[in-house]
Amino acid sequence: MSTSITSESIVVPDARRRRLLAAIATLEEREREPRVRLALAEAEFRLAVTPGTDPTEAIERIRRAITHDPFLPKLYLHLGRLLQRSGKYRPAVHEYRHAIRLAPSNRRAHLLLALALLELDDAEQALGRTLLEGVSRDSAEDLRTAVADLDALFRQQRSGGAAKSAKGKTPPRPVPTGKQSDDARSSGIWRLSLIEQLSRSKPIRRQIDAQLQTGAARAADEDGGVEYATACLLLLATGETVNQTRALMKTAGLDRRPPDAVSAVLDAALDLAAIEGPAAFVATAAGHAERGTLPPELVCWLHFSKFGPACALGADTVLRLLDDYPESFRRDGCFAELKLAVLDEYARAAWASERFDRAKLLWQEAAALDPYRVPLAINLALLATRTRSREDYASAWARVAELLYLHAAGAGDVQPLLEERRALHLVLSQQGRQRHCPASSAQDLPDRKQLVDWVADTDTFEIWLREWDLYYLNVRLSFRSPVHVLGVPRDASDEDVEAARDILLRHLGDALADRPWAGIAAFRDLAEDKIADAFERASDGVERARDPYYEVEKPDADALAEEALGRGILLRNVVLALVGRGRAADLRIGCAIARHEFTLPWLALKPICVGRGLIDERIDLVKLFEGDLAALASRCVDPEPRSPKDWSARLGALDECQALLPNSLDIRWLRCEALDGAERAEDAYAAAVEALEVPIPDDDKDPDHTRILRAHLVTLIDNIALLQLPEPLRQPRNVETARRTLQEGRILLSHFPLSGALRAFLAEVLLQLGEKPHLDEAAELLREGRDTALDPDQRARFDEGLARALAAQMSRDRLDEVEMFVEPAMDRVEKAIASFKRAPSRTSSQLVRDAVTDAIVSVSTAIEVTETAELPHHQVSSLRSTLSKLRELEHKFSTYQEY
Amino acid sequence: MFMIDFDAESHYSVLGVAPTATAKEIGQAHDRLVRELRERQRREPENRQELEGREKAVNAVGDELKRPARRKQYDKANAHLRFYTVRVAAAPMFTDAADLVAVLHRAIGAQLARENVRLAPVSDLDRADFRADETPNALLDELLG
């Protein structure tokens, strides 16, 4: 049969798969009448059970087949089988149960159900053994009873009540009759029952003998002989002596069979097990391993049982013996497990006798064989703790955490090792708290001194902060009910469900941020997927109502909510203690605390707080915490920053505060102040401008305070640029200085265009200079200032300035007009007087009189114009003075006579 | 540097049992300790007061641990007690009978398969050929030719 790689990289019998896929495609185009649905179901089934089909695809195809034909027992049987093969025992049990409901006498389903139950907890295992016994004896009554007991157990698990069997008693232990039906004998159930017995910590010998008797009766068949020989090998491995095993073989007549492959394996195993000397054993075992005549697992187990830690040889001898195996065998995975098992057992013994150095060496050697083994990492971390090893402690526990997340990431599921993760983080969190704030329960609250001492122990406090969040996250991820994953009540609105999802995602991001663990990004993706899936399911009203896990998980969800509430109250108490202390150094830790506060599920916790009278219904808890953080930022200023370096240190903490509360004007103001103090003028300016752009909320509880803060920001912006101007230029006393002031000022204004004070100052200098181009520039500056004013007061000041500038412009224009006709007239007067002085005559005096008369008219007109235009008084006075002088001249020259 | 505190006394250490002890083991340990303390009270009347105090402490601890809900609460508040237990790092086949049997059974089956000896599967979990479970379907079989 040819094979090829499909688009899913699956190697499957090509022709069969192709034909089935084509048939499905054809059937799907047809109308879904019953015969088409049945054909589709069968086609999907055949594709699912085709050898080589990927298990995930196979499960999906069986599910599809079920949608086409939901009453076909074999579909549920095979779905259960596939789930069981994938390690999903509980879902497999449910599918088998469904198959039995449809086909109550199906032995295969009962047998598979029994095997799945044996993988679960004690109560399920007991039922599994009962079922196995019932299958073995082919007792329909026992099977019915066992299945009914299973149903009772399911009901109990859902409701949390006490288990009652179908007959009103606890599930019965299997009755060891040893009798089996012919069916059981022919199907090999006896071997399954034997395996189940051998798997117990205390097997029942009578049962084992009964199963062996059954097996021996079948040993004459070829298949029966192979099965019996296999059973003998298992018995040899689980403690039967060589002689006892040979006796069993004889009973079944295996010793009389012609040599074949199975007898070769059995004889080789018996010969190996019979060797007493360790060196000889190793030599023989190595030979078998090299030739492949015995499975390596059996070789390793026989070595472990004969020459492992339980034997009389010393530890060094036992370990050296392992090194005598050839390199090729030592590379085998099973050999590595053998050596690891030996090392681990000796290490645990060393630990128990407090020989910690030896334990460390042994576990480290074991860890070299498997660096990813979680129990080894935990043991090494416990060792570092026990020996108070400062150099190993932190890295050892970090390694434990890393592996716990890495394994989950590698498995593509958050569930593996979740309990270990939960326990690790809870333990570290509790220990972080107990150091300074011992409590018998999470509700015990420390007093203020305890809180202050605790915060001062930064290491311990930060561990508590960090580890509890990880604990909380893992508990949320452990829930199967979507509402409990998200931490919302069952009747939560869609908006609340969405908000809860967002909070949990934020919590996830913060909890896993900056973790330098391999695989953490993959784990975060898996967690996000789980949260997204929970959100989808919680958003579906029907699914939420049908949630089968809601009730059974509610007690744990409620307990987690209590813990979260206790955590929130404690966090707030710490913040309030820090606010009371007012120390600058506390701001950073305060921000860290606030970050943790904000990721708690306050939507769900608020009703509890209100119900207990802790807060009023109208209080918005998140806003309350935001206010605490703002108070922390404004009051933690002792000692006051004195140098740019002090301000920079404060700025770092304020940056964190602003990241948490981007819309808090208080914090933005404080940050601008710190930037200014740190002599970062441009940054302070930009930050202040940005702060003024933050919208004022409609429900602003303190509008006066907001107004004051905004005014501070405007003042800061106003002054920042002005103070960049060199001091000598801030008060120009002459034109030259004024020009330099303008030059520097224009450059600064390009950097700080919204600085009102600088703009107004430059406009004033321009107005002082008084020339038309200056007045025009001043008006333009003030116009721009009015258009970009940061608040009404500033706008009003610019309006006023602009009015002055416009008035000055108008004055200037009038003056220019006046000068246009006064100057020429006065020039003529001067020229006429000069001519008269050179050659006094009637003619030249007449010229003077004419020029003066014209000038008097011009100046009089100019006076009218200036008075009408309300030009400055000194302008009018100057013209009147000129007029007066002209009249004197007129009089003087009117009486002139030529002599 | 923060380090976990390993040696703090616990209810379990008072009774001399492991944190993972069963209810039966706890009950037995409690009874044994109380018996020993009372015996000592009879033999050492001069220490009666001290021994009575210790008996009272043992009773308080035993009372807490013998009640499942209170034990659960105590364990939750002291999660480190169970967590700080040395783990078995060996592969389950070296520590658990069920796993050993399962591993060896599979290994023997694989060994025999290499020798072309067929070991009948004990259940459907060991099978790969399910053609016998296919149901004839006229429409499908016609399409498959």
Contact A199 B108 (CB under 8 A): no
Are A742 and A762 contacting, i.e. CB atoms less than 8 angstroms apart? yes
Q: A524 or A431, which is more confident?
A: A524
Contact B93 A301 (CB under 8 A): yes
> Is any Cβ of chain A less than 8 angstroms from the Cβ of B132?
no
Q: How many CB atoms lie within 10 A of CB A693?
A: 6
- In chain A, residues with a C-beta closer than 8 Å to the C-beta of B143 are 22-23, 26-27, 39
Q: What pLDDT does A502 receive?
A: 95
From A687's Cα to the closest Cα of chain B, the distance in A is: 39
Q: What pLDDT does A583 receive?
A: 87
Average pLDDT over residues A435-439: 79
ipTM of the complex as predicted: 0.83
Q: Which residue is closest to B79 within chain A, CA to CA?
A: A427
Average pLDDT over residues A96-121: 93
Q: What pLDDT does A6 receive?
A: 36
What is each CA distance from A254 to A245, A267, A563, in whole angstroms?
11, 11, 65
Q: Which residue is closest to A372 within chain B, CA to CA?
A: B89
From A676's Cα to the closest Cα of chain B, the distance in A is: 37
Q: Is the pLDDT of residue B17 over 70?
A: yes
What is each CA distance from A85 to A81, A417, A625, A741, B124, in whole angstroms?
6, 20, 51, 86, 10
Are B101 and A201 contacting, i.e. CB atoms less than 8 angstroms apart? no
What is each CA distance from A314 to A299, A366, B79, in whole angstroms?
21, 18, 37
Average pLDDT over residues B43-58: 92
What confidence tens digit (pLDDT) does each residue in A53-92 have? 889 999 999 999 999 999 999 999 999 999 999 889 999 9
Query: Distance between CA A150 and CA A163 in Å, rounded?
Result: 10
Query: Distance between CA A655 and CA A670 in Å, rounded?
Result: 10
- In chain A, residues with a C-beta closer than 8 Å to the C-beta of B91 are 337, 340-341
Query: Distance between CA A36 and CA A23 in Å, rounded?
Result: 11
Contact B94 A338 (CB under 8 A): yes
Q: Which residue is closest to B136 within chain A, CA to CA?
A: A42
Q: Is the pLDDT of residue A170 over 70?
A: no
B contact residues 24-43, partner A, Cβ 8 Å cutoff: none
Structural tokens at position A239: 């403690």
Contact A22 B73 (CB under 8 A): no
Closest CA to A670 of A695, A703, A641: A641
Q: Is the pLDDT of residue A667 over 60?
A: yes
Q: What pLDDT does A115 receive?
A: 92
Query: Distance between CA B130 and CA A245 in Å, rounded?
Result: 35
Per DSSP, helices labelled H in A387-447 are 390-411, 418-434
The secondary structure of A539-604 as a DSSP string is H-HHHHHH-TTHHHHHHHHHHHHHHHHHHHHHHHHHHHHHHHHTBGGGHHHHHHHHHHHHTS-HHH
Q: How many CB atoms lie within 10 A of CB A577?
A: 20
Q: Which residue is closest to B95 within chain A, CA to CA?
A: A341
**Closest CB to B1 among A45, A260, A390:** A390
CA dihedral A388, A389, A392, A395 (to 10 degrees): 30
What confidence tens digit (pLDDT) does each residue in A817-845 have? 888 878 999 999 999 999 999 999 888 88
Contact B83 A424 (CB under 8 A): yes
Q: What pLDDT does A700 receive?
A: 81
Contact A427 B120 (CB under 8 A): no
From A506's Cα to the closest Cα of chain B, the distance in A is: 27
Contact B122 A296 (CB under 8 A): no
What average pLDDT does the structure give for chain A? 89
Q: What pLDDT does A896 receive?
A: 67
Q: Is the pLDDT of residue A9 over 50?
A: no
Contacts of A20 (CB under 8 A, 6+ apart): A43, A46, A47, A50, B144
B contact residues 69-108, partner A, Cβ 8 Å cutoff: 73, 77-80, 82-84, 86-91, 93-95, 97-98, 100-105, 107-108
Q: Is the pLDDT of residue A309 over 80?
A: yes
- In chain B, residues with a C-beta closer than 8 Å to the C-beta of A214 are none
- In chain B, residues with a C-beta closer than 8 Å to the C-beta of A297 are 93, 103-104, 107
**Closest CB to A440 among B4, B77, B80:** B77
From A537's Cα to the closest Cα of chain B, the distance in A is: 30
From B34's Cα to the closest Cα of chain A, the distance in A is: 25
Q: What pLDDT does A434 receive?
A: 82
Q: Is the dihedral of CA A673, A675, A680, A681 positive or negative?
A: negative
What confidence tens digit (pLDDT) does each residue in A242-294 have? 999 999 998 888 888 878 888 899 999 999 999 999 999 999 999 998 899 99
Closest CA to A309 of A284, A345, A267, A275: A345
Q: What pLDDT does A638 receive?
A: 82
> Is any Cβ of chain A less than 8 angstroms from the Cβ of B139?
yes
Contact A192 B123 (CB under 8 A): yes
Write the single-letter amino acid at A343: L
Contact A375 B83 (CB under 8 A): no
Q: What pLDDT does A850 receive?
A: 92
From A235's Cα to the closest Cα of chain B, the distance in A is: 9
Q: What pLDDT does A59 receive?
A: 94
Using 50, 70 and 90 to split pLDDT, how confident is the model at A187?
low
DSSP A121: -
What is each CA distance from A198 to A53, A98, A231, A249, A269, in whole angstroms?
33, 30, 10, 18, 18
Contact B108 A227 (CB under 8 A): no
How far apart are the two ends of chain B, measured CA to CA in Å? 76
Residue A85, SS3 per DSSP: helix
Q: Which residue is closest to A17 within chain B, CA to CA?
A: B144
From A45's Cα to the closest Cα of chain B, the distance in A is: 8
Structural tokens at position A717: 């912006």
Mean pLDDT is lowest, of A382-391, A480-489, A696-705, A727-736, for: A696-705
> Is any Cβ of chain A less than 8 angstroms from the Cβ of B60?
no
Q: Is the pLDDT of residue A163 over 50?
A: no
Q: pTM of this prediction?
A: 0.77
Residue of A227, A267, A397, A431 to mutate, interface with B, max B Cβ within 10 Å: A431
